[in-house]
Structures are given as structure tokens and as C-alpha cells.
Amino acid sequence: MQPPRMFNKILTQGLSRGVIVLDRACRVLDWNYWMEKHSGIRTDKIIEQNLLEQYPDIQKRGKASYIRKCIEKKIPYLLSPLIHHYLIPIDVVRQDRHVRMFQNVKIYPLPEEEDDAAAMILIRDMTDAILHEKEIRRLSLLLEGIRDINKLMVRAESEAELIQSICEVLVEKIGYGFSWIGLTGDEGDSENHGRGAVPLPLTLRASATKTGHDPAKLKARWGDAEFRQGMLGRAIRTGNAEIFDWCEDVSVSETRWQRVCCRCACSLPLKTDEHLIGALDIHCGQDILSSEEIKLLREVADDISFTIDALRDKARHRQARKEMRRIRQQHQARKMEAIGILAGGIAHDFNNLLTIIMGNIELAQYIIPPGDEADETLSAALSACGRASELTQKFLTLSKGGAPIMTKGSLGELIREMIPGRFTGTDIRCELSVPDDLWNAEFDTAQMGQVFDHIIANACEAMPRGGDIRILAENTVIGPTSEAPEVLLQEGRYVRLRFQDQGTGIAKEHLHSIFDPYFSTKEWGNQKGMGLGLTIVYSIIRNHDGGVRVKSAPSKGTCVHVWLPASETDMEERPHKHKENIPRATRPRILVMDDEDMILKLIRHMLKSLGYEVESVRNGPEVLARYEEALNSDRPFDAVILDLIFRGGMGGLEIMTQLKAIDPEVRAIVSSGYSDDPVMSNYEQYGFCDVLPKPYQKAELNEALKGIGLKMSDVKH
């Protein structure tokens, strides 16, 4: 039994979806109240009208075929909203804007016997469901993106890298069409933030885009933001997010919207402590920005501001620490320089005195008969003088490090040659790690030996019961982006050595004093606790343009780090002294110059006892006069011994220059208590044939003279 007509009418009119009944020619036979309400077309106006003519859009979009096939082939069709969007074009208002209704459409074929009706179309409005689904999806994406941004913020080390990564997440992960971050500068400029102030340019610092649009074209500045005048300017002035939807503004042409490739945009000020530091602009592409989305984006902007502020604080802190370290290093250097000047002066005078003392002791030993009781006493005194001389040598090393005689060579080879022998007879095991490709460096071999000695001696003393010491060598580059070591070094290539012991370690409060002379935490005397070892290491390494740092903690051992600049060129052979052994007539003549009478007297004695003929003078003009006079005679001088430092007169270097002018073949030996003087270190460069650091003994004097080609059998009295 068919239901009564009235029943059908009540049912179709009361349905919360659209009902359209068509005949075979697609003419409307029924049009329910829902359709009237949503389409705005009254039933009596559409009955008998052709639906496809009434809505040409159906035909235009290719949807008419579904209706026709349903009628002709009696096949039901479903048109889902995600694939077809709609069948009947109906606009609805959602969130204050017009949107085309999303429809779920069912097209049923009707039995032919039922009047003229051939098909029934049922339309269900799914706009809200789909917009909500889209909103949920967008917010989910946004939350996922914010999670990624938060991770970036936690890991951020560089401001530029952070903001660029954030822009990329906003575009690539969340799906915005375009985003950029502009910054006012490192510190912002609060004075220019008032209304009507001079335009403050924002410098574009980072951007990402899907569309390939050039953000520079937006010319984001005060009062000249993208889209319409002042979106960015207003955001900065008000301190609030500014949102713009082109659909709401008739002044914005579709062409302009298409050029920028976005429908909706927002500008979010970046502020720290109410000071503007920049702005984050986001351009949405096809979608609109919901209030929830804006709220989340505001939080993102706040987090970006906070992170930028924190990074800047961190950078300032890092800079302050670097500056503090520099000041500390400078202070240390000045302290060492002052100590050096004092130590050098004392050492020079002391060496002169030692020369006299030692020389006289030696002469006394020659004078007294062999086997005399005094000989043993004099030998003891001479031995003590020798130790005093070693001490003054250390003072001199402190003074200027003893100008190193630099040669390029393999530090790795030096370590392998020198270090293992240092542990012979100890309970300490040494583990060396030296890569084959270790860069060459420029160093003074003897001084590096001292460095190794002092560091290893300290390590051994810190491990009285034995233990392990690891010595590692490696190449390292200090550049603008590399992590700087905690010592002041120029940027460049370095060889780094690490000496790690397992000793008792050093208390934190002592670490800042360990390079001070005579500072020691160990017991004094008996070769322990002189407190000069690390001072000398520091001095030598600084003179090599390197750096040294000690890291230590009680009962955790000590690690001494040493940086030496790597050579830029290949290894060079160390120059060797080649001295011509010239056969001379017996009793060569030596001219000696020194301002100390006692030293002159002593040297005369020494040389005479060695069989030389000696003439001594007390100043430069006398040297020049006597030398020239002798040169023009048949008895020229075979060698000259010159004191380098001369108080109140011509020094050894100046005399040498003038002697060279008189006799380019002159053979001269330079002597001084300042054994660290560059002339003493590089005497050949200054024209001297050899060097005699004070104090010296007769044997050393003899050796030096032999070295320059003079040979004379020792003549005992």
C-alpha cells in the first residue's frame, strides 16, 4: 500500500535536507521547504522549470550526466562533498563570510509507474562538518609545526639559523604560503616606537616561500607594509597582531592578491620587555586565519622573541667571558713581562759576577799545586756556581722566554724521540698518540725539550705511586665559527698537545696561580717545588705564539693543553754551524772588549793560559782603533770577543757593524749575561761567528775559539 500523499508531503517538507523530484526531462516536480530556504527560490517559481536550465552550473561542471544516467539507466549515484563539493550552487554564511555549501548528494532512480517522477535528489549540507575537519587538520598541523619550532628554540645556537628554520617550518611543515622575519637590529630602538615617529626599517633576516615570490618586493617598513598601507606598521605601533583578509577589502584587487599569492596575512610584532625587535609576517595562501590559529601564532611570536632575547643574552655573556679571559691573559702577560724584566736584569748582573767568580776559581785551581787541599773546596765552589748559573738561565728564560731559535719540523717526531726516554726508571706508563699526518710546526727544539721536561716532571710528581700519562697530539683549526679554546690565540691552524695524568690534581683556587713564578703546591727543595716549571712552559709557549692551558680537579688528574701554530710551508732543514777550520800561525791574537775590569782581567788570564796572545780594551772606539791598526800591521787580530751590552757606550752589535766595514772577514764572538737576547740567539744573522753566554768557563771559551777555526794547545803554567 502506497503511503498517502499528505504523509509524503509532511515528510519531505520536514526533512533537514533538500529534496528535489525530477521528471525524465529534468523538470522539477517537487522542491521542498529546505530547498526553498537555502536556494531562495520558492517552490511555485521552480515547479515545471528545467533544473539544468535553472542552474547552468550543473551542466558546466559536468554533473548533469549523473542525473541523466540515473534517469535513463536507473542507477543510483552518490556525489560526495570532498570530490564534487556541490551539485546545486548554494552559498551559506560561515564565520561572517560567504562560502559555497559542501553537499552530500544522493540521486535515486524512481520507478516509472510513479507518476512522471523519474529521479529524486537528496542534498545534505556538510559545510560545517568539512570546515571543522579542515580547521582541525590545520590546527593539528600548526601544533605539529609549533612542536618543531619549540625543538628548534631549545637547540638554537645562532639567531640567524633559528629564524630561518622557523620560517621554513611555517611554510614547509604547517603549509603557509610565505613567511618572513624582519628584525630592527640587535638591540632594537625603543626611541623610535612612538606614534608618528620616523619610519624604522625592518631588515629582512629570514624567509621561506612556497610560491617563489620575492619577499623583498613587499618593502616591509613602517606605514608601507604589504597589501594595504600599514598592516605591519599598525602591528608594530599597537603591539598587537594585525590580520588582513583581502576578501574583506575592496581596495585590494584580485590581481594584487594573485601576485602575492595569498588570501590572508598576519603581522605579529616581536617584542622583548616592550621593546620592538622585529616582526613575523605570515601569508596564508588559499586559507583564512581562524581566531584559534592567530592565538597560537601569537604564542609562537612571543616564544621567538623570548628565544632571540635569550640568544642575545647568551652572546653578550659569551663576549663578556671572552673579554674577561682576554683581560686575564693580558694581566698574566704583563705580570710575566714585569717579572721577566726584573729577572733578566738580575740574571745579567749575576752572570757577570758568576763569570768572575768561576773564572777566578778556575785560575786559582791552576795556581795551587796539584793535590792541594784547597782544590776540593774550590771544586765545590765551582759546582755551586754551576747551579747558580743554571738558576740564572731559568730567570733568563722567564724574562723573554729566551728568544727561541725557530726551525720548522715535525713535532710528532720530536715527541717520539724525546718523550719516552723521560719515563725510564719510573713507574709511569706513557701512552703516546701522534697521528702520522700531524702538521709541522715552527719551534725551538731545546726549548720544547724544556717544556716536555717541566710538564712531565709535574705529572710524575703528581703520581708518586706511578700511573699512566696520555700524550695526544692532534691538528686543530681555530676559526671564527670553531669553538675557541680558553686561551687567547689568533685564528689559524695549530698543533695541539694534551698531557693527561692520573695524579692528585689541582684545587680550583690554585688554578689561576699555577703560572706564577715560585708558586707551588708541592713541598720545597730537593728538586721539588721550585715553582718555575709551568712559568717557564708558559713563557716558552707564548714566545712560540702558542698557548697553554691547564685543566684539573682534585683527584681527577691534570690535563695540560699546549697549542703551537702549524707551519704553512714544508719542513726546512735546521741550519748547522759550518765553520771553516783555518790553519793559523801559532799564538793567534785575540782582542777582548768588556766594560768590567775584573772580567777583562779574567779573560786575559784564561786566554793566556790557553796559549793565545791577548789584548784587552774597555770600549768600542778602542776596539775599532786597535783592530784597524793591527789589520794594517803584520800582526792582525785573529778573533775578537765582544761584550754585547755596554753601559753608556757603543755596544757589541754596533761595534760589530763597524768592524765589518773595516774588515769584512772579521771573526768575532759575542758574549753576554743576557743569553736570551735575540743577538745571542741568532748571532750569525748579526755577523758573529759564535756566542759565549756568561758565565762561562775556560773550557767553553776554548771550545768557542776552536769553533771559529782557532786552535792552540793548552799551555800550562
Contacting positions for another protein (CB under 8 A)? 74-83, 102, 104, 106, 108-109, 126, 129-130, 133-134, 137, 140
| Distance, first Cα to last Cα, the chain | 158
What number of CA atoms fall less than 13 Å from residue 714's CA on the CB side?
A: 8
Residue-level length of the chain:
717
Distance CA 25, CA 44 (A): 18
Task: Please report how close the Cβ of residue 112 comes to another protein at its closest, in angstroms.
Answer: 12
Task: Please report how close the Cβ of residue 124 comes to another protein at its closest, in angstroms.
Answer: 8
Distance CA 140, CA 293 (A): 10
Nearer to another protein, 134 or 151 (CB): 134
Nearer to another protein, 140 or 238 (CB): 140
Nearer to another protein, 1 or 83 (CB): 83
Which of 459, 472, 449 is closest to 536 using CA atoms?
449
* 123, β-bridge pairs: 18, 105
Distance CA 646, CA 650 (A): 6
Task: Please report how close the Cβ of residue 76 comes to another protein at its closest, in angstroms.
Answer: 5
Nearer to another protein, 41 or 141 (CB): 141
What is the C-alpha radius of gyration for the chain, rounded to an integer number of angstroms?
Answer: 48
DSSP strand pairing (589-593 vs 639-643): parallel
SS3 43: helix
Helix axes 533-543, 374-400, angle to 10 degrees: 50
Task: Please report how close the Cβ of residue 106 comes to another protein at its closest, in angstroms.
Answer: 5
Nearer to another protein, 83 or 198 (CB): 83
Nearer to another protein, 76 or 479 (CB): 76
SS3 312: helix
Nearer to another protein, 88 or 354 (CB): 88
Nearer to another protein, 132 or 416 (CB): 132
Task: Please report how close the Cβ of residue 139 comes to another protein at its closest, in angstroms.
Answer: 12
* 93, β-bridge pairs: 98
DSSP labels for 188-245? --GGG-STTPPP-PPEEEEEEESS---GGGG---TT--SSSTTHHHHHHHHSS-EEEE
Distance CA 378, CA 372 (A): 10
Are the CB atoms for 91 and 100 separated by under 8 Å?
yes
Nearer to another protein, 22 or 541 (CB): 22
Task: Please report how close the Cβ of residue 63 comes to another protein at its closest, in angstroms.
Answer: 11
Contacts of 616-619 spanning 24+ positions with Cβ under 8 A: 616/591, 616/592, 617/591, 617/592, 617/593, 618/593, 618/594, 619/593, 619/595, 619/646, 619/649, 619/650
Nearer to another protein, 104 or 552 (CB): 104
Distance CA 97, CA 127 (A): 13
Task: Please report how close the Cβ of residue 62 comes to another protein at its closest, in angstroms.
Answer: 10
Task: Please report how close the Cβ of residue 8 comes to another protein at its closest, in angstroms.
Answer: 19
Which of 217, 216, 243 is closest to 232 using CA atoms?
243
Task: Please report how close the Cβ of residue 325 comes to another protein at its closest, in angstroms.
Answer: 53
Task: Please report how close the Cβ of residue 60 comes to another protein at its closest, in angstroms.
Answer: 17
